[in-house]
Amino acid sequence: MCGIAGTTIQQDRERLPDNNTVLGALAHRGPDGQGVFRDENLFLAHTRLAIQDTGSMAAQPMVSEDQRYVLVFNGEIYNHLELRSSLPHREFRSHSDTETLLYAYIQMGAAILPLLNGIFAFAVYDRETKELFLARDAFGVKPLYYYQKDGTFSFASETKCLFTLDDTDRTVNPDALFQALLLQWPIETGLQYVKRLNPGHCLIVNCTKPGSVQIKKWYREPFRGLYEQCSEQAWMERLDTALTRAVQRQLLSDKPLAYFLSGGLDSSLLAAIARKLAPGEKMQAYTIDAGSAFREEGFSADLDYALQVAAHLDIELEVIPSQADFLDRLDTMVWQLDEAQADIAPLFVQDIARSAKQSGYDVLIGGTGGDDVFSGYRRHQALAYEPLLSATPLIFRKAARSLLQYLPDNPAGRRLKKAASSFPENTAQRLFRYFFWTGKNTVIGLFAPEFLARIHTNSIEDFFASRLGDIPGEQALLNQALHLEMQGFLPCHNLNYTDKMGMAEGVEIRVPYLDNELVALAAAIPPQLKMKGSETKYLLKKVAERYLPKSVVYRPKTGFGAPLRTWMKQDPLFQQQIQQRLDRLLLAHPDIFNAPAVRKLYDKTLSGQEDNVYTLLALLAVESWLRQFAAS
């Protein structure tokens, strides 16, 4: 894994990028080396975390033998040795996937992208045509941002690095703030002129005329409404084989690997398959001890399951105590994420990555993507009731919504009330609103009227609707939901923090559940085998029974989260810190936020009248992001 950046150079430009400043902004992503390339039209920078071929011949920027092409690359190509065999006979200088990628691109151009089984964001510059080609992997595992305004084009692995390349216009994107409060993560970036290159897309810009770019989609989603018909046992065999191949591919490394082991199904199954592939070898794993406050909030006790799996597989497990100084670390977290994400899970990932790095592990394998590919979220279970809801007259759905709002304020009650809020909607609207964290009208009311007029309040629904338009042949509601997970929640939230919090500590995190072949196979599995009744990940669990105790396979669903409600009720210092940060937000941005509405939200949460604690957390994340990233 690495950090990459670049910018077009115009003769009338007042400021040129400084090597040390740019490389310094990416240093955490590549502690093992750095390099730059300049010509009259382009500047490229690279910082290296050496994983495959740690020698100097694999250093970047990598220039082709004929000096025509220059490559900067962040990621891993797991099948690069297979690709080499298909290239014309040549003497490779290294055994790195970087060199394979360079010459594969030279031979095939963009046609190479569907053949790459890996995680990547890269840029290739053609010194003859002056064209810059950028590409991002199919699922958005590796980040890639670009900035375009006034004839300047820049790109980088992280938004903060863009600021070192040019005098970046930091005008706020109003829609992103709205999305961050409603979803707890933004679909778009928070800056008007900074965009993410979407997963599965590539981009071409002429560096002599950078005012326009061509963006093309190279990845075709596998959801086509076509399911292969074979027995459940046959599907188990096929899935077991595909999982094993995915893990085996991602064990490719010249550095030692370790594992996330939360005690949940996804990470435990990957570790079990890795143990099968390497019987008797030492395996190191890491887990978090979240503590009793997390269990009171409704999160299951992960540690007991993690210890059970480690003993079952003979894995050395390091238990890392959770850090309760969440608000103290919020600013640093938001800076590292580049986004106003409201979640404590990134801090857990960073704590594990730091411990792994200190123990000499530069690579971690984790279970990110398992829920999104095989159906693991509670909102997927809600889909089982869609036929009943659709058949129920609207008047009764409205009545049910009203009655369920009186349920007690416990984990089960909160989930039912949240689900009931979308009862009056149609099926498509409910599908979209399962992603909402709070009521849409609540969020709308938090903004000042003038700023609200600039917000497209249906941007989230429009985003999801457009993504469903990409899979017109897929009619199964579960697969539609999984497609939305993989287009929105997965790249914009989970993968964003997985990559950046690992790279903040100089650690690469691999995600075998997003192996290209495995995802394609999963899309062909009949939906009723992914979720049987309300049993999520049904087929994956049947495979897992071969490797793990049933007590682990069928344990209660959990997730990383913060015991915010407990802190809000019992910790006066926590309450005070939230109030202080909200006051700072309202003082700095009276043009953006409706101060009385924000204060009312806080007061009702503190008194226990309403449960808005996660919306308050999102407001704090937005405040931190505005202070660190937006125009002053």
- Structural domain range at position 116: 2-175+191-217
- Residue 125 is assigned to a structural domain of this protein: yes
**328 within domain boundaries:** no
> Is there a domain that residue 160 lies in?
yes
Q: How confident is the model at residue 166 (pLDDT cuts 50, 70, 90)?
A: confident
CA distances to 56, 73, 121, 468, 614 from 98, in Å: 12, 7, 12, 35, 42
Question: Mean per-residue pLDDT for 417-426?
Answer: 59
Whether the predicted pLDDT of 406 surpasses 70: no
Q: Which of 213, 201, 194 is nearest to 136 (CA)?
A: 201
The crossing angle, in degrees rounded to 10, of helices 394-404 and 411-420 is 150
Query: What percentage of the chain has pLDDT greater than the value 70?
Result: 90
- For 521-579, write each residue's pLDDT tens digit: 999 999 999 999 989 999 999 999 999 999 999 998 766 556 778 888 888 888 899 99
How much is the average pLDDT of 10-32?
Answer: 88
Token pair listed for 581 = 């940060």
Confidence (pLDDT) at 501:
98
| Mean pLDDT along residues 463-477 | 95
The pLDDT of residue 399 is 57
- Reduced to 3 states (helix: H, G, I; strand: E, B; else coil), residue 1 is coil
> What values do phi and psi take at 388, rounded to 5?
-70, -45
Report which of 155, 151, 138, 137 is spatially closest to residue 194, judged by C-alpha positions. 155
Cis peptide preceding 61, ω within 30 of 0: yes
- Look at residue 277 in the predicted model and tell me its pLDDT: 97
In a domain, 561, yes or no: no
Mean of the pLDDT values across residues 83-108? 91
For 230-251, what is the mean pLDDT? 97
Residue 241: band (very low, low, confident or very high) from pLDDT cuts 50, 70, 90: very high
Check if the beta carbon of residue 80 is closer than 8 Å to that of residue 100.
Answer: yes
> What is the pLDDT averaged over residues 45-71?
93
- Amino acid 170: pLDDT: 97
pLDDT tens for residues 526-535? 999 999 998 9
Answer yes or no: is 196 within a domain: yes
Q: Is the pTM of this model over 0.85?
A: yes
Residue 619 domain flag: no
The model's pLDDT over 96-115, given as tens digits with 9 standing for 90+, comes to 999 999 999 999 999 999 99
H helix or E strand, kind and range, residue 422 = none
DSSP letters spanning 202-219: EEEEETTSTT-EEEEE--
End-to-end CA distance of the chain: 33
Number of domains in the chain: 1
pLDDT at 478 over 60: yes
Residues 6+ apart with CB under 8 A from 68: 126, 127, 128
| pLDDT mean over 248-269 | 95
Q: Among 25-39, 311-325, 392-406, name the one with the lowest average pLDDT.
A: 392-406
The per-residue pLDDT for range 330-379, each reduced to its tens digit, is 999 999 999 999 998 999 999 999 999 999 999 999 999 999 999 999 99
Tokens standing for residue 579: 């109030």
Pick 480 or 382 by higher pLDDT: 480
- Which DSSP symbol is given to 36? E
Lookup: tokens for 57:
């011949």
* Mean pLDDT along residues 270-291: 93
* 343: phi then psi, degrees, rounded to nearest 5: -160, 145
pLDDT at residue 409, as a whole number? 56
The pLDDT assigned to 361 comes to 97
Residue 62 maps to which CATH number? Answer: 3.60.20.10
- The mean pLDDT of the chain is 91
**Within a domain: residue 64?**
yes
